[in-house]
Every structure is written in structure tokens, then in C-alpha cells.
Structure 1
Amino acid sequence: MPTPVVPYGADQTLFVVIDRLGKANEIRIERSDLEATIGELVAGCFNDPIKVISFNTLEHWTRDISTDVAGEIRARCDIDGVALPDYLSDFVQNHT
């Protein structure tokens, strides 16, 4: 029996980071927690993030939240008094 595409507990918001691995390769990495997604972005767990998408299959909606995430990353760096990491500079500049 095939595994269902929509996981048990489908009424939850999921977050997908689209990450560029090379010239033509992109990878999508799914998370179920926005805080974990932002934390992993700041920690450098992604090569070259392009955008962050949120969606809820039960409620039938999808949103590009890249601008919100980029703003949150910039705010956290400002509050902590640290420079924006180089690996996030393009992402933040493109979405703020």
C-alpha cells in the first residue's frame, strides 16, 4: 500500500525551503515548524535558499512567506548584534 501524500494530522501548516544546489538543481526541504525553519536557515543548514513557502493542504492555501522570513532573520541578527551571515545575504536582500 502506498504511503499517503498528506500525512496524518494534515490540518497543520508546513514550510518548504527551496534551496539552490547548483546551476540547474533545486531541492525542497519540508519542515512542520516555522521556528525550526528559521533556526536552520540562520544555522547554515541550507546552501543557497531561494524562497520559503507555507501551505496547509486541509485548508487549501499556499503562501510565499520569504519576505516575512527574511525580515525575521534580519531582525534577529540586529537584536543579537551580529552581522547577517554571508550565505543568507542574497536571500535577505532579495526579499526585503
Structure 2
Amino acid sequence: MGRSPSIVPHVAADQDVYLVLEDFGGRLGRAWCETAEEDTSRATLMRHMIDGLYEHPTRIVAFNTAEGWSRDVTADVADELRRRVVEFDEVTPSLLNFLDRAMRH
């Protein structure tokens, strides 16, 4: 019997990986967004959130397989985005909704 391919990303062994749970609504429900391997860093996540790449992000998790940890970082990301949002002239409605939802939880 052959080995199954690993689902662990082939990023640098010590890199934290960030994934977004998106609410697609209705019958589609929630799903983890497909993300290119090189787009799983915190910096890229923040840029994508600010740019409005995610329409209804509901949860963000981070993990590092080399260090053996994973955690929900939704509140941490929302706090950082709240501090940074003052730097921008315009903020996408999806980001404002995410910040509002994250503050209520």
C-alpha cells in the first residue's frame, strides 16, 4: 500500500501558518479557504484582510508543525487590524464586519 501525501505545507520548518475559515452562507456554509503555500504567513494574511480578499472571515487559526502547536488567533489578528486600520483612508466593509464580530466574541 502506498503512502498518502502529507497535508502539512512544505513551508520553512519554523514558519507559522495562518488559515481563514470563511462563511460562504446558505447551503455552502463555512469552509477553510484554499491558500497557496507562500500565502500562509501572518504578513500576507494581514494584507489580504485589509485588501478585502475574504468577504466573511469567521475564524483564523495559526499552527507551526515544527514547534507542535496550533491555536485560534482570531482575536489577536482583529486586535492588530484595529490598531492598523487608522493608517488607511478606506476600509473594506468585510474588514469592518470582521472586526465587529471579533469584538463581540
TM-score interval w.r.t. the shorter chain?
0.7 to 0.9
Give the drift of 1:10: 3.6
Indicate if the aligned counterparts of 1:10 and 1:57 stay in contact, CA closer than 8 A.
yes
**Corresponding position: 1:5 with 2:7:** yes
Deviates more, 1:83-92 or 1:63-72: 83-92
Aligned to 2:50: 42
In the TM superposition, 1:20-59 aligns within 5 A as 20-23=23-26, 24-29=28-33, 30=35, 31-59=39-67
Distance in 2 between the 1:11 and 1:33 partners? 11
Same amino acid, percent of matched pairs: 25
* 2:50 partner SS: helix
**Corresponding position: 1:70 with 2:78:** yes
Aligned to 2:96: 89
Deviates more, 1:60-69 or 1:86-95: 86-95
Indicate if the aligned counterparts of 2:62 and 2:71 stay in contact, CA closer than 8 A.
yes
Indicate if the aligned counterparts of 1:74 and 1:84 stay in contact, CA closer than 8 A.
no
> What RMSD over aligned residues (CA atoms) do the two structures have, in Å?
2.0
Runs of at least 4 residues off by over 4 Å: none
Distance in 1 between the 2:9 and 2:95 partners? 30
Give the drift of 1:26: 1.7
Query: TM-score normalised to the size of structure 1?
Result: 0.80
Give the drift of 1:83: 5.1
